[in-house]
A and B are shown apart, each in its own frame.
Chain A
Amino acid sequence: MRILVLDCKEYAIRFSLADMETKTFPVCGKVESIGMAGATIHVRTQGKSERQEQASLLTHKAAIEKVIDVLIQERAISSKADLDAVAHRVVHGGESFQTSTRINEKVIEQIRRLRPLAPLHNPAELEGILATRQILPDTPQVANFDTAFYATMPDHAFIYGLPFELYKRLGVRRYGFHGLSHRYLMHRTAKLLEKNITEIKIVSCHLGSGCSITAIDRGTVKDTSMGFTPTEGLAMDSRCGDIDPGLIPFLKAKERLTTAELLNLFNKFSGLRGLSGTSGEMAVILDKAEKGDERCQIALGVFSYRVKKYIAAYMGVLGGADALVFSAGIGVNAPIVRQRCVAGLEFLGVQLDPEKNQAAIGKEALISSDDSPVKVFAMPDNEELTMAFRTRDVIQKREEGIEEDEF
């Protein structure tokens, strides 16, 4: 079975072709600068070096047609009829969608209605879905939601301390994001520990350009750091994470900002970027911090402290954990950051092995000491695999439990 996995953003599309027999991705890549003067297509085919192509792609439809052309060019498929299904990433499923769902008119309408909850993501994802339905009208398509993983989160964790009517009337609550990633990390951790997901407690840290931490209790979610939007929680690449709500009227007045500008401030000018004044990239910040750049040191300090705070809090919520997982760009590539995030948590049973930690860059590895009660992993994320599996299962109408062996 071959599944086209699509993650459609405003000006870019990440794509991969999943081969469900081998559970690998023969081709993957990214189309950037859609709708602008000249798009770039990056293609990575297994066994070949990465290549780039330029094209004029003004719409998502043109971009997706190009992606299919590329797959044919790379001989991963011989025609679009070879695609058995399409897996779409949809960031926000609200409370309407608690699991991956086969796309039909009603689903599309419901996704459209969720636009106010995710104005930065929803329109582009919808455009991708509609375009794909035009290009591949007979191919089953499945929407995979970042929020669906959190369907089991208890209400005392997702309800804010705001008037309850706001939740009932407007859907104001914590939704949680990166669900596709944390779901993969949960299954993979269980596999490595040779346990069932219903037997273990995990604190899962997805630290990429967006960052979130999730407390997973034996297959269900107890809490997560992102909230109503992906802005809440940790300090990220360019997002501020947790702040005092009192700052909103203060900043609006003092800096004379419109709401849109304030949102920009929180989402694009904050986090590591805003703290360091240099860059949102951890690699750059680590380098400069080491060379004595004070602001980069502050950025690093704020980032790791907040991660540590959440790890400790979630271990409290879970009553202890079997595993702590670091994933995505920073989680997998920055041993120093991992070390700072767990320094002092030995009393909770988290003991890093310094050598194993230093050596674990860009790969899956166990980085805790042999006698550490909590197993600590560095683990590359794989949302695409989750999407492919969930899509396959929805189409073949399998029960959720069966996924476990596959990871």
Chain B
Amino acid sequence: MDFSKVGVVGGGTMGRCIAICLARAGIKVVLCEKSEKQYQDSMSALEETLKDLIRHFSITEEEKKIYLSIIEGTPELSALDDTDFIIECVDENLELKKRVFRQLDEALSPDKIIATNTATLSITELAAATKRPQQVIGLHFISSDPNSVLVEIVRGTQTSDATTEAARDLARAMRKQAIDVFEYPGYVSSRLIIPYINEALYILMEGVSSAEDIDKAMTLGNNFPIGPLEMADRIGLDQVLGMMDALFEELGELKYRPCPLLRKLVRAGHLGKKTGKGVFEYANGEHK
């Protein structure tokens, strides 16, 4: 399948990241936000991300101009009917996503595929909110870093082979590498990384070692690019807690019990890099 234009619903962190990845691959983007104002805000934030990428030598000024020129906005879901594929990226809230899916189902022609970027919610349940469950699929972009490479293609119980193939084509067109996952709590990446981070927080809480040393055990001892606690701060402790809670609820096993220290930090508003303090402290986005 060829992709000349892809629709993205929701201009939050992930929506913006996906829009940048699409633009980078030369695919036009139609970004749907609730209102003109939300769209303008999203685009400002998107431009900031592009400026960051320039500062980090990831893209050039010329490339930034090209990407901005092929991303357009709309408040109408129906405008997305003119695209080849739709990716939904609204907040991680089941009722909200179900509503958006129902609206998309009504606004789009019946042949369109709708993918969701959800990390924790059920593809099958979202698909059931539509009349086209075979054309609903999960396309999980693990990280909000446009340079990250992996995408999890998550099949719901009714997702068809053709839809899966189309999702694989899109991942390839976006220069990402895809893995196939059957819908299950946590898929693969979250189910492995979140409990690992959670365990690191237990080790910290139990006084076994300092936060710096726990991270060193993994970076120096096991060649991880960054340690589990810094990773937690980067993902956002609220996100980590949310995903841990979801795993615990869905699977019910004690090994998924969120670490009390994690809950305490989140309750105190120490969410990590984005609030300047999590496990570690941050100034200007850098580890102090």
Contacts and interface: CB of A to CB of B under 8 A. Distances in A.
A37 B69 contact: yes
Contact residues on B (Cβ < 8 Å of other chain), bracket: 10 to 19
B26 A35 contact: yes
A258 B28 contact: no
A268 B147 CA distance: 17
A91 B147 CA distance: 27
B26 A260 contact: no
Given A36-B26, A37-B28, A257 B56 contact: yes
Interface in A238-278: 255, 257-258, 260-262, 264-265, 268-269
Nearest to A273: B60
B28 A261 contact: no
Contacts of A257: 56-57
Interface string A18-46: 00000000000000010111000000000
A261 B66 contact: no
B58 interface: yes
Contacts of B4: 58
Given A37-B28, A58-B4, A260 B58 contact: yes
Contact of B57 (A36, A37, A265): A265
Interface residues of A, number: 16
A260 B149 CA distance: 13
Contacts of A260: 58, 147
Contacts of A264: 57-60
A264 B57 CA distance: 6
Contacts of B60: 264, 268-269
Given A58-B4, A258-B147, A36 B70 contact: yes
A257 B66 CA distance: 23
Interface string B122-139: 000000000000000000
B12 to A, nearest CB: 24
Interface of A: 11, 33, 35-37, 58, 255, 257-258, 260-262, 264-265, 268-269
Task: Classify the secondary structure of A's interface with B.
Answer: loop
Given A35-B26, A36-B26, A37-B28, A261 B56 contact: yes
A145 to B, nearest CB: 27
Nearest to A263: B57
Nearest to B67: A36
Nearest to A265: B57
B91 to A, nearest CB: 30
Interface of B: 4, 26, 28, 56-60, 66, 69-70, 147
A404 B62 CA distance: 42
30 contacts: A11-B26, A33-B66, A35-B26, A36-B26, A36-B66, A36-B69, A36-B70, A37-B28, A37-B69, A37-B70, A58-B4, A255-B56, A255-B57, A257-B56, A257-B57, A258-B147, A260-B58, A260-B147, A261-B56, A261-B57, A262-B57, A264-B57, A264-B58, A264-B59, A264-B60, A265-B57, A268-B57, A268-B60, A269-B57, A269-B60
Given A35-B26, A58-B4, A261 B70 contact: no
B226 to A, nearest CB: 10
Residue from B26, B28, B69, B70 whose CB has the most chain A CB atoms within 10 Å: B26
A257 B147 CA distance: 12
B9 to A, nearest CB: 21
Nearest to B5: A37
A37 B70 CA distance: 6
Contacts of A35: 26
A37 to B, nearest CB: 5
A262 B56 CA distance: 9
B58 A261 contact: yes
A265 B56 CA distance: 9
A260 B145 CA distance: 14
Contacts of B28: 37
A281 B270 CA distance: 48
A192 B28 CA distance: 52
Nearest to B62: A268
Q: Across chains A and B, which 6 residue pairs bring their CB atoms closest together, nearest first?
A: A265-B57, A261-B57, A264-B57, A35-B26, A37-B70, A268-B60
Residue from A37, A257, A261, A268 whose CB has the most chain B CB atoms within 10 Å: A37
Given A36-B69, A255-B57, A264-B59, 11 more contacts: A11-B26, A37-B28, A58-B4, A255-B56, A257-B56, A257-B57, A261-B57, A264-B58, A264-B60, A265-B57, A269-B60
Contacts of B57: 255, 257, 261-262, 264-265, 268-269
A201 B276 CA distance: 65
Contacts of B58: 260-261, 264
Nearest to A36: B26
Residue from B4, B57, B58, B70 whose CB has the most chain A CB atoms within 10 Å: B57
B24 to A, nearest CB: 11
Contacts of B59: 264
Nearest to B66: A36
A269 B63 CA distance: 13
Contacts of A268: 57, 60
Nearest to A56: B4
Nearest to A251: B57
A382 B183 CA distance: 59
A348 to B, nearest CB: 39
A15 B247 CA distance: 58
A72 B70 CA distance: 31
A129 to B, nearest CB: 20
A255 to B, nearest CB: 8
Contacts of A33: 66
A255 B28 CA distance: 32
Nearest to B70: A37
Nearest to A261: B57
Contacts of A265: 57
A258 B66 CA distance: 23
B63 to A, nearest CB: 9
A35 B66 CA distance: 11
A269 B58 CA distance: 10
A269 B54 CA distance: 10
